[in-house]
Structure 1
C-alpha cells in the first residue's frame, strides 16, 4: 500500500489552490473546476469542492472543520520559508514561529485560508536527519 494523496475539501477551490501554489511554488493541475492537484515528488495535495462529496457520500467531509490533521511539507530552510511566507499576498495566519521541536525538527505552523493546520519543517539534528533518511 502507498499513500499517494491527501485531499482537502473546501467551499472555495480557487482560493485554496492559489494559497497552496504560493506556499509550495508548485503549479496545480486542474482537471475540473471542482478539483485540483499539486503534485510533489512524494505525494499529491488534492483540493476538491464540497460539491464533489456528493459523489462519495453527502456529509462525509465538511469544509473548514478540521482540527485534527496537519499537512506537513519538508523544506530546506524553515526560517527562510517563514520570511518568504510573511511577504506573500496570501500571508497565512502563523500559529507558531520557527521552533526546534523535542524530536529534532525545526517547524513552522500556520493555517491555510480554510483553517487547516500546515507544518513546514526541516530536520535540525543528526537524529532527525537519520530518521528522515530511513
Structure 2
C-alpha cells in the first residue's frame, strides 16, 4: 500500500479567529466549529484541512510547545482570475489580516499575493495571468 496525502493540520491559538479567516476564503466548517477542540473542512479532491487548538494538542502531548516563530506553514488558494486576487487581498487586509505581499504579476505567469492567517501562516492567493497557460486542477 502506498500512503496518500490526506490531511493538512494547523495548530491554532484562537480557533474562532482562524475559522473566521478560512471561512472568508470559502472553506466550510460545521456551524458549531468554534466550540469544538478539533474541526475539519473537506477540500476539493478530498484532502482535509484540520484545525486543532493548542490545548487540544497538549491534551495528548503534554510537553508540546508552539514553535518560537510563527509562519511555518503555507497554504495557497487559486482564485478565478487576477481581479479576484486583488479584491480578496483587499478584503482580507481591510478585515484586519496582515498583508505580507501586495498583489503583483509574478514572472511565472500568475497574479500573486500573500496574507497571514491569525497564527502568522502565509496564505497565498493566485490566478493565471491572461496569455499564460492554465494548469489544470490536480485530479485524484
TM-score scaled to structure 1, two decimals? 0.76
1:34-113 matches, cutoff 5 A: 34-42=37-45, 43-54=47-58, 57-59=61-63, 62=66, 65-76=69-80, 77-88=84-95, 91-113=96-118
Give 3-state SS (helix, strand or coil) of 1:3's partner: coil
Match of 2:23 in 1: 21
Deviation string 1:10-48 (CA, Å, 9 cap, x unpaired) is: 1221221122112x1333123971111223213322110
Cα RMSD (Å) of the superposition?
A: 2.7
Query: After the TM superposition, which segments of 4 or more aligned residues of structure 1 sit over 6 Å from their partners?
Result: none
User: 1:35–1:47: 8 Å Cα contact kept in structure 2?
Assistant: yes
Greater strand fraction, Structure 1 or Structure 2 = 1
Identify unmatched segments of 5+ residues in structure 2: none
Question: For the residues of structure 1 that align with 2:10 and 2:65, how far apart are their CA atoms?
Answer: 9
> What is the aligned length?
129
Work out which of the two has the higher radius of gyration on C-alpha atoms and give 1 or 2: 2
Question: For the residues of structure 2 that align with 1:36 and 1:63, how far apart are their CA atoms?
Answer: 21
User: 1:10–1:64: 8 Å Cα contact kept in structure 2?
Assistant: no
